[in-house]
């Protein structure tokens, strides 16, 4: 069997389910259940690089920011530091849980977690139109005060939820720091965890210095960029459904086992995938195959190595 280089993006639900309180015990069990599914790839000798989401976790960090300032006058940390905090904490948890799985499975392999910075364009149009919700939901009075005090931007949540939530820009990822190091560590046989939560968004100023931004990068886009940069063979996005569907949850929904670039572009343009759900994942997969990748797969974590599941996205249909 030909050895492959595989990038696997763990969705936020792979670490913390929406109906859970978020205790470390819950997150560790979810992580264990998810990571058990990558073991067949490891045993087959493939090189595996992991990335992960951080939506629930960084949201909790922001709420701790709020509580610390209100109760104890602790200065709030900016969003880039909160993303870095989540990268370190989640990366540590994934690394430790995976080490214990390796012990159980008799696998001897190093695991390396990298806190990753991802470059964006400071003039990206996303900075003029923030859309990414972060942190807690506020009432209108509190939101107005935060707008006045901190210059934050708020948008109303859906009516069934109620309230106002801070939104931040979500610029396009352009480059990932330390790509050569990620490649060399992977080539040396280690599992690398990188680009967590989309990476810490930074930009390069006119003096070529690295500067932070108050933004959140889409995890799937950054993971696809990582996969393309290291010339991975395959790119997997793990989510909460085993297939991609068009017209999802509608009477005419249709499961897609295979999807080529032409049809993926057409369905996306026709709005067949939810913009707040599957469409960004489809675009990330397209970015990967358009930049040299062989195949992208969107599937549920427990179906990762079962080839009868998952939507396979390629330039053309597979035979």
Active-site annotation holds for 132: yes
- Do 220 and 195 meet the contact criterion of CB atoms below 8 Å apart? no
- Note down pLDDT in tens along the chain; length 319 residues: 789 999 999 986 678 777 788 899 999 999 999 999 999 999 999 999 999 999 888 888 998 998 999 899 999 999 999 999 999 999 999 999 999 999 999 999 999 999 999 999 999 999 999 988 887 789 999 999 999 988 999 999 887 778 999 999 999 999 999 999 999 999 999 999 999 999 999 999 999 999 999 999 999 999 999 999 999 999 999 998 899 999 888 888 999 999 999 999 999 999 999 887 899 999 999 999 999 999 999 999 889 989 899 999 999 865 4
Marked catalytic residue, from 11, 12, 135, 293? 12
Active-site annotation holds for 13: yes
Antiparallel, parallel or unpaired: β 311-314 and 295-300: antiparallel
Pick the CATH number of 5-129+169-314 from 3.40.50.720, 3.40.309.10, 3.50.50.100, 3.40.1160.10: 3.40.1160.10
Active-site annotation holds for 68: no
Active-site annotation holds for 277: no
CB burial of 159-188 (b: ≥16 within 10 Å; e: otherwise) equals eeeeebbbbbbbbbbeebbeeeebbebbee
3-state helix, strand, coil in the chain (%, to 5): 40, 20, 35
Marked catalytic residue, from 60, 89, 122, 132? 132
The phi and psi torsions of 66 (rounded to 5 degrees) equal: -60, -50
Residues, the chain: 319
Rounded alpha-carbon distances, angstroms, from residue 111 to 61, 91, 227, 228 = 25, 10, 18, 21
Within a 13 Å sphere around the CA of 202, how many CA atoms are in the beta-carbon half? 20
Active-site annotation holds for 307: no
Marked catalytic residue, from 54, 196, 219, 295? 219
Marked catalytic residue, from 13, 30, 37, 287? 13
Closest CA to 118 of 88, 78, 76, 80: 80
Q: Three-state DSSP class for 170?
A: coil
- Do 115 and 150 meet the contact criterion of CB atoms below 8 Å apart? no
Q: How far apart are CA 38 and CA 92, in angstroms?
A: 17
Marked catalytic residue, from 5, 221, 272, 281? 281
- Do 239 and 13 meet the contact criterion of CB atoms below 8 Å apart? yes
pTM: 0.94
């Amino acid at each position: 069997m030909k050895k492959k280089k595989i990038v696997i993006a763990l969705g936020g639900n792979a670490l913390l389910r929406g109906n859970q309180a978020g205790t470390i015990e819950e997150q560790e069990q979810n992580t264990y259940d998810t990571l058990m599914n990558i073991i067949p790839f490891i045993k087959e000798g493939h090189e595996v690089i992991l990335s992960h989401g951080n939506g629930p976790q960084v949201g909790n960090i922001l709420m701790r920011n709020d509580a610390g300032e209100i109760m104890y006058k602790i200065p709030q940390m900016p969003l880039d530091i909160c993303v870095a905090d989540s990268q370190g904490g989640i990366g540590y948890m994934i690394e430790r849980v995976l080490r214990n799985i390796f012990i159980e499975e008799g696998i001897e392999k190093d695991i390396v977690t990298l806190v990753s910075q991802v470059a964006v364009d400071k003039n990206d149009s996303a900075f003029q139109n923030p859309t990414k919700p972060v942190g807690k939901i506020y009432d209108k009075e509190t939101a107005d005060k935060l707008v006045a005090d901190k210059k934050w931007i708020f948008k109303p949540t859906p009516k069934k939820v109620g309230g106002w939530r801070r939104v931040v820009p979500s610029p396009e990822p352009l480059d990932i720091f330390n790509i050569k190091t990620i490649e060399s560590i992977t080539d040396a046989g280690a599992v690398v965890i990188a680009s967590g939560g989309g990476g810490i968004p930074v930009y390069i100023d006119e003096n070529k210095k690295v500067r932070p931004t108050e933004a959140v990068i889409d995890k799937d886009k950054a993971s696809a960029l990582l996969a393309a940069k290291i010339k991975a063979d395959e790119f997997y996005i793990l989510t909460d459904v085993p297939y991609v569907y068009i017209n999802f949850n509608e009477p005419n929904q249709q499961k897609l086992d295979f999807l080529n670039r032409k049809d993926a572009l057409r369905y996306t343009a026709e709005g067949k995938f939810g913009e707040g759900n599957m469409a960004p994942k489809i675009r990330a997969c397209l970015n990967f195959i358009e930049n040299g990748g062989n195949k992208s797969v969107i599937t549920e974590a427990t179906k990762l190595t079962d080839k009868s599941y998952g939507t396979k996205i390629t330039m053309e249909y597979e035979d």
